[in-house]
């Protein structure tokens, strides 16, 4: 995909439009942010890739205290044009990361699921808000990893690797991105037995890759399609310790 990313204010207007639709309340772009109801806002983070379809987004839960209430994440969209790709990137972010953060504000289960500190499917010792699970890919098994992630809990498997990894006692963002497969069709063609294989498994803690947790994710038995590609993305907000 070729093209140039629109101006920041245009991108923020896209973010504000998506958030307005999702929340049923007005968000407005201006002064370098998409400003929502109360203390909520979204800012564009420093761009760490050259891709026009890549967004670094900082969700600020309290604009008066951004230092300890900002959750950063990044997302890349795909499409025929830059605008289409950015729109899809925002949609993916909204369905995972932003959903968990919006749920913190309303706490009624409308945007994400809650797990108590003692829930066996949650994160031991923490109240967790689990955002949606988004999937994409190619071929007949394009949704295989997403379906697996819906049916299998991640947090209890990741918790041991994340012990002692957090530098604050509240508002810890965990992003999981994983999947892969084999591109092409027949042997020697993309997606066949001789096609190019690929795999990725990454856990980010407040926007930074965590190696031990990423290895723990890679060791789980999620599907590796033999033909086509399948990926999943989700986000969990650890609100506070028990």
Tokens standing for residue 132: 């949606």
Output phi, psi for 119, to 5 deg.
-70, 130
Q: What is the pTM of this model?
A: 0.90
How does pLDDT run along the chain (242 residues), one tens digit per residue?
568 899 999 999 999 999 999 999 999 999 999 999 999 999 999 876 778 999 999 999 999 999 989 999 999 999 999 999 999 999 999 999 999 999 999 999 999 999 999 999 999 999 999 999 999 999 999 999 999 999 999 999 999 999 989 988 899 999 999 999 986 543 333 333 445 678 999 999 998 999 999 999 999 999 999 889 999 999 999 999 87
Dist CA 117 CA 241 (whole Å):
8
Output phi, psi for 56, to 5 deg.
-105, 120
CATH T-level topology, domain 1-108: Double Stranded RNA Binding Domain (3.30.160)
- DSSP output for 119-175: -TTS-TTEEEEEEEEEEEEESTTTTHHHHHHHHS--HHHHTGGGTT--SSSEEEEEE
Domain ranges across the chain: 1-108, 112-242
Count CB atoms within 10 A of the CB of residue 211. Answer: 10
Q: Are 9 and 29 in contact (CB under 8 A)?
A: yes
């Amino acid at each position: 995909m070729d093209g140039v990313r629109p101006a920041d204010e245009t991108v923020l207007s896209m973010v504000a439009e998506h958030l307005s639709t999702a929340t049923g309340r007005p968000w407005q772009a201006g002064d370098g942010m998409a400003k929502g109801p109360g203390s909520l806002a979204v800012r564009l983070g420093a761009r760490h890739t050259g891709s026009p379809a890549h967004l670094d987004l900082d969700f600020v839960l309290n604009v008066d205290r951004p230092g300890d209430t900002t959750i950063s994440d990044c997302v890349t969209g795909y499409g025929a044009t830059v605008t289409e790709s950015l729109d899809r990137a925002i949609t993916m972010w909204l369905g995972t990361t932003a959903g968990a953060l919006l749920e913190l504000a309303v706490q009624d289960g409308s945007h994400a699921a809650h797990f108590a500190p003692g829930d066996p499917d949650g994160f031991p010792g923490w109240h967790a808000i689990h955002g949606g699970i988004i999937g994409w890919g190619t071929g007949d098994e394009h949704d295989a990893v997403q379906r697996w992630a819906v049916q299998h809990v991640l947090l209890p498997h990741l918790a041991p690797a994340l012990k002692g990894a957090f530098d604050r006692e509240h508002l810890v963002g965990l992003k999981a991105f994983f999947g892969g497969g084999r591109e092409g069709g027949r042997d020697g063609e993309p997606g066949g037995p001789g096609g190019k294989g690929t795999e990725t498994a990454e856990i980010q803690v407040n926007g930074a890759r965590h190696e031990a947790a990423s290895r723990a994710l890679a060791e789980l038995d999620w599907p590796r399609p033999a033909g086509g590609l399948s990926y999943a993305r989700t986000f969990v907000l650890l609100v506070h310790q028990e």
